[in-house]
Chains A and B, each alone.
Chain A
């Protein structure tokens, strides 16, 4: 499938005597599940940005701008062709050793009850991970099939219900964190992924979050515990990290929270 992505981030930085600095993780990697056909980031100062690879293998850009009172816009557009591999990513080059993703962080802690039943199991690791995904879904509840009013935020922030009657569900990041924490508690390397997801309903698109866990035979495999499925060709991977914090797509100094507008559609 070919997916067209249009992602706009806007923010207003506090003014001050020094420059604003932006750390962007907004460039998707290529890999067995996706090839990036075209990708443009439109932003003042982007032409002279520093470009490098971060500790998790993400392509990062460092952009400077003189500080102004005006709104700053980052406009990301691109086309990615995707393949359904049943979630299997394998072992892409240039990534840190999988063992790194056994590190526990404050965001990735799982209650002992969640993992107890998997300790000492004879099941294969892949089976364990699938069961774990189901249990995380049980624990946090699942979104309705019908268009949800729930804002899913990849940054781990509180989900917001647009109508008060609607039950507030955790954000996608919360599912991912719980899954990752449980996997790590079982000594399975697991990491946090942010990315885009095509949804066929009319709900507004938001940056999505899911998890990947490592299997010695297959390499990295994606799990989306919020959607209870392994990522398909409707998914585009953008960043990976230990948790939402390390995989955040935009960090700025001075700190400012961007408003995001996103559309993900089938490309012509």
Chain B
């Protein structure tokens, strides 16, 4: 896979335009000189004014950046989307069944389909969740599946992201900006709406409220606060849903029930969409020194008086080491073959595989098992010899801490680069909601590596975003 020409989303190998991109191609041809550049400037002003920024870890505290937005949309045909969404639905159903199982009877471990130690001794496994019955049996309600395309019909899932996936606000704001910038392009295409996401999120959250919550359950979005890199998204989603945006101190537990402090006194909370990691959620059960969480909220959850979304402990299902077993998981619980491909993954604890990995490290991608956001990873073909050597050392020191995958030739999409249009690598993160039903928003977040040849699309590493269009028939 390493050496082949990447799949071009817009052009066939013979240079003709692929059908879904026909309208875009015509529109691009009509744009005057500097038209795209002006649009780009407008877009940046829009985002900055709206306060859509993200904080960059490791840089000076409080530094805020506008995530780069590319004015050329990424387009997915209706039939392509149908296939994708079927595959995604299959995955999230199986992964929720898996979570129910590992926190109850652990049949899949007894059956020997996944090594028991991989689950039980995993840091992401949460023993406090044992035996808990979540509303509707759902653990992971909000999921952002990272997918890459390498061919016309070839999609790979990179990660399932079952903890607290972020970026959905960019999907919504990218669409908003695109409609302001290029209304004429929308008129020529039938683009499926993404605007229903907040309403669908609200319905999903209300559908998993505990019994006895009444007909209009109260939702709170729990944020670590304004210095969190995704704070904008937390406030955006709370606003769009008409839910309260709370910090830890705004919520308290009394008599095993959960309340928020309002100007008129305590008000009961039924569902908490928490954007705080498991470890910081409740100092009584998890990290005792956490100031971000709500003391006793996990107990209230166990008592059945509030629903936490996503449930603590969902990380065991998107652990990078467990990832390799997802096809197995789908077969075990659904009796079906996985519709979406997993990226082949090498296990460095196996001596033969490790030796092969070390010999070929220049062609491979190395990821830290518990890393995220593009931190702690190395892309072989675009790294230096020194970096190769450094990661070889790391793998030898802690083989269980890394997974290794072949370098995928991520598809490219035309992208506006200082006045010109040039192909850049992209991935795709569709957003899935699981409650009374599975709701997949047609579209998602397309991340684009703005540096020529780069395969790292994370915003923290210089990636940008594109509006993502799913065409309707």
| A/B: CB atoms within 8 Å of each other | yes
Please give, as numbers and ranges, the residues of chain A lying within 8 Å of B254 by CB-CB distance.
19, 48, 64
Please give, as numbers and ranges, the residues of chain B lying within 8 Å of A242 by CB-CB distance.
127
Question: B106 to A23, Cβ gap below 8 A?
Answer: no
Shortest distance in angstroms between B125's beta carbon and chain A's nearest beta carbon? 7
Question: A23 to B299, Cβ gap below 8 A?
Answer: yes
A53 to B117, CA, bound (A): 26
Nearest B residue to A102 via CB reads B120
Question: A55 to B304, Cβ gap below 8 A?
Answer: no
Please give, as numbers and ranges, the residues of chain A lying within 8 Å of B104 by CB-CB distance.
97
Question: A62 to B296, Cβ gap below 8 A?
Answer: yes
A23 to B303, CA, bound (A): 13
Question: A97 to B121, Cβ gap below 8 A?
Answer: no
A53 to B125, CA, bound (A): 19
Q: Among B110, B132, B253, B288, which residue has its beta carbon within 8 angstroms of that of A55?
A: B132
Is A60 an interface residue when CB atoms closer than 8 A count as contact? Answer: yes
Known: A50-B305, A52-B303. A246 touches B127 (CB 8 A): yes
Please give, as numbers and ranges, the residues of chain A lying within 8 Å of B285 by CB-CB distance.
23
Please give, as numbers and ranges, the residues of chain B lying within 8 Å of A253 by CB-CB distance.
283-284, 288, 295-296
Question: A55 to B129, Cβ gap below 8 A?
Answer: yes
Nearest A residue to B305 via CB reads A50
A161 to B130, CA, bound (A): 39
Beta-carbon contacts under 8 Å, B261-317 to A: 283-285, 288-289, 295-296, 299-300, 302-305
Nearest A residue to B125 via CB reads A103
Question: B121 to A103, Cβ gap below 8 A?
Answer: yes
A57 to B252, CA, bound (A): 25
Question: A99 to B252, Cβ gap below 8 A?
Answer: no
Is B255 an interface residue when CB atoms closer than 8 A count as contact? Answer: yes
A212 to B127, CA, bound (A): 18
Question: A64 to B127, Cβ gap below 8 A?
Answer: no
Is B225 an interface residue when CB atoms closer than 8 A count as contact? Answer: no
A103 to B116, CA, bound (A): 9
Shortest distance in angstroms between A67's beta carbon and chain B's nearest beta carbon? 12
Known: A18-B249, A251-B284, A253-B284. A52 touches B120 (CB 8 A): no
A94 to B132, CA, bound (A): 11
Question: A50 to B127, Cβ gap below 8 A?
Answer: no
Most chain A Cβ neighbours within 10 Å, of B120, B130, B252, B295: B295
Q: Among A48, A49, A51, A103, which residue has its beta carbon within 8 angstroms of that of B127?
A: A103
Shortest distance in angstroms between A244's beta carbon and chain B's nearest beta carbon? 14
Question: B284 to A99, Cβ gap below 8 A?
Answer: no
Please give, as numbers and ranges, the residues of chain A lying within 8 Å of B299 by CB-CB distance.
23, 50, 52, 60, 62
A100 to B131, CA, bound (A): 11
Question: B120 to A99, Cβ gap below 8 A?
Answer: yes
Is A118 an interface residue when CB atoms closer than 8 A count as contact? Answer: no
Beta-carbon contacts under 8 Å, B130-163 to A: 130-132
A51 to B302, CA, bound (A): 9
Known: A23-B299, A100-B120. A53 touches B255 (CB 8 A): no
Beta-carbon contacts under 8 Å, A1-27 to B: 18-19, 21, 23
Question: B130 to A55, Cβ gap below 8 A?
Answer: yes
Question: B120 to A48, Cβ gap below 8 A?
Answer: no
Please give, as numbers and ranges, the residues of chain B lying within 8 Å of A54 by CB-CB distance.
128, 302
Please give, as numbers and ranges, the residues of chain B lying within 8 Å of A100 by CB-CB distance.
106, 120, 127, 130
A251 to B286, CA, bound (A): 11
Count contacts on B: residues with CB < 8 A to the other chain: 36
Question: A23 to B121, Cβ gap below 8 A?
Answer: no
Is B399 an interface residue when CB atoms closer than 8 A count as contact? Answer: no
Interface digits, A245-268 against B, CB 8 Å rule (1 contact, 0 not)?
Answer: 010000111010000000000000
Please give, as numbers and ranges, the residues of chain A lying within 8 Å of B249 by CB-CB distance.
18
A21 to B249, CA, bound (A): 13
Known: A55-B131, A251-B284. A50 touches B300 (CB 8 A): yes
A102 to B127, CA, bound (A): 11
Please give, as numbers and ranges, the residues of chain A lying within 8 Å of B131 by CB-CB distance.
53, 55, 57, 94, 96
Is B48 an interface residue when CB atoms closer than 8 A count as contact? Answer: no
Beta-carbon contacts under 8 Å, A155-185 to B: none
Question: B302 to A21, Cβ gap below 8 A?
Answer: no
Is A41 an interface residue when CB atoms closer than 8 A count as contact? Answer: no
Is A56 an interface residue when CB atoms closer than 8 A count as contact? Answer: yes
Question: B116 to A99, Cβ gap below 8 A?
Answer: yes
Question: A50 to B303, Cβ gap below 8 A?
Answer: yes
Nearest B residue to A21 via CB reads B295
Is B56 an interface residue when CB atoms closer than 8 A count as contact? Answer: no
Q: Among A21, A102, A255, which residue has its beta carbon within 8 angstroms of that of B296?
A: A21
Is B109 an interface residue when CB atoms closer than 8 A count as contact? Answer: yes
Is A104 an interface residue when CB atoms closer than 8 A count as contact? Answer: yes
Please give, as numbers and ranges, the residues of chain B lying within 8 Å of A255 by CB-CB distance.
288-289
Question: A19 to B252, Cβ gap below 8 A?
Answer: yes
Please give, as numbers and ranges, the residues of chain A lying within 8 Å of B303 by CB-CB distance.
50-52, 62
Please give, as numbers and ranges, the residues of chain B lying within 8 Å of A252 by CB-CB distance.
284
Question: A62 to B253, Cβ gap below 8 A?
Answer: yes
Question: B121 to A104, Cβ gap below 8 A?
Answer: yes
Is B87 an interface residue when CB atoms closer than 8 A count as contact? Answer: no
Question: B253 to A64, Cβ gap below 8 A?
Answer: yes
Please give, as numbers and ranges, the residues of chain B lying within 8 Å of A246 by CB-CB distance.
127-128
Question: A52 to B288, Cβ gap below 8 A?
Answer: no
Please give, as numbers and ranges, the residues of chain A lying within 8 Å of B128 by CB-CB distance.
54-55, 246
Interface digits, A80-123 against B, CB 8 Å rule (1 contact, 0 not)?
Answer: 00000000000000101101101110000000000000000000
Is B6 an interface residue when CB atoms closer than 8 A count as contact? Answer: no
Please give, as numbers and ranges, the residues of chain A lying within 8 Å of B20 by CB-CB distance.
none
Please give, as numbers and ranges, the residues of chain A lying within 8 Å of B132 by CB-CB distance.
55
13 contacts between A and B (CB under 8 A): A21-B295, A21-B296, A23-B284, A50-B253, A51-B256, A54-B128, A55-B130, A55-B132, A62-B296, A97-B104, A100-B106, A253-B288, A255-B288
9 additional A-B residue pairs with CB within 8 Å, beyond A97-B130, A102-B117, A104-B121: A50-B253, A50-B256, A53-B131, A55-B132, A62-B299, A64-B255, A99-B106, A251-B284, A253-B283
User: Which 5 residue pairs across A and B have the least CB separation, nearest first?
Assistant: A50-B256, A52-B303, A253-B295, A55-B130, A96-B130
